[in-house]
Structure 1
Amino acid sequence: MKQLLVLLMVAWLVAGCSNVYSHEDGYRMAIINQGFPVPKEAYEVKPEDCVGEISKAAKYKLKGIGDEEGNPPDEYLQTIEEWGWTDLVDERRGSIHFYEKNGKIMSLNIHQNIFDVFEMTSDKSS
């Protein structure tokens, strides 16, 4: 019985650690903003504390979400825009993207295999 339990736990850990970005898997709503998409296979980890211009934060892990320079998959960026978010290209700061929809500003910070989603306060450029 113990061996079966250990085998099930190992299988669960392997399955939980194998999440890889795939556009075909689809998207779900971010935990901090019901209108902002995140890949379905991404799982939440403890976010950074909210400071300054950030009112809400969520951190996700997902293999293949960003390359070494923090460039996200084009399909993900297209999906964000398909969900009605406008890319604020002039506000970009390196790998940090900003999006606006209905007066809300969201920030997407992509790294290799991890990304942060932030809901910004009304003054994103302080």
Structure 2
Amino acid sequence: MKQILALLVLVSVFWITGCSNVYSQEDGYRMAIINQGFPVPKEAYEVKAEDCIGEISKSAKYKLKGIGDADGNPPDHYLRTIEDWGWTEMVEDRRGSIHFYEKQGKIMSLNIKENVFDVFEMTSAKES
């Protein structure tokens, strides 16, 4: 009986530590649910997205510890990965923690906050 209890405790510890959802560049990236060509960290999990208004046609919201600092600065590796996937940042349109990317006529917006981020597919190019 003690062995079974010890095994259950051990499995629980592994399960809890394995599901911690913390940003790590080693974990890799997957496709965003709203755009198959835009990367999001594999460990990020979806939460209820914002309603789409104005120039936003689709939105997805993710939680992930360590994705952004208090000022909304994302990890450099994530930004490089977005560019590695073929997206070009529209630097002139950046608004604080909100980054805009373009690829083959599609515009994506990435809004990073501490431990949460939003990905938006825009209906048209962002006005400066």
Q: TM-score range by the shorter chain?
A: 0.7 to 0.9
Q: 1:93 aligns with which of 83, 92, 95?
A: 95
Deviation for aligned residue 1:109 = 0.2
- Match of residue 33 from structure 1: 35
Q: Distance in 1 between matches of 2:18 and 2:45?
A: 9
Q: Distance in 1 between matches of 2:33 and 2:86?
A: 17
Query: CA 1:125–1:43 in structure 2 vs 1: closer, same or farther (change >3 Å)?
Result: same
Q: 2:105 aligns with which of 103, 106, 112?
A: 103
Query: CA 1:125–1:12 in structure 2 vs 1: closer, same or farther (change >3 Å)?
Result: farther
Deviation for aligned residue 1:18 = 1.1
- How many residue pairs match? The answer is 121
Deviations 1:77-124 (A, max 9, x none): 000000000010000011100000000000000000000000001142
1:61 aligns with 2:63: yes
Q: Which amino acid aligns with 1:106?
A: M
Q: 2:73 aligns with which of 68, 71, 88?
A: 71
Q: Distance in 2 between matches of 1:109 and 1:18?
A: 22
Query: CA 1:11–1:125 in structure 2 vs 1: closer, same or farther (change >3 Å)?
Result: farther
Q: Percent identity?
A: 78
Q: Which structure 2 segments of 5+ residues have no match?
A: none
Question: Runs of 4 or more off by more than 6 Å in structure 1?
Answer: 10-13
Q: Which amino acid aligns with 2:69?
A: D
Q: Secondary structure at the match of 2:118?
A: strand
Q: Which structure 1 segments of 5+ residues have no match?
A: none
Q: Distance in 1 between matches of 2:43 and 2:108?
A: 20
Query: CA 1:13–1:24 in structure 2 vs 1: closer, same or farther (change >3 Å)?
Result: closer
**Normalising by structure 2, what TM-score?**
0.86
Q: Distance in 2 between matches of 1:70 and 1:86?
A: 20
Deviations 1:12-36 (A, max 9, x none): 9845861100001000000000000
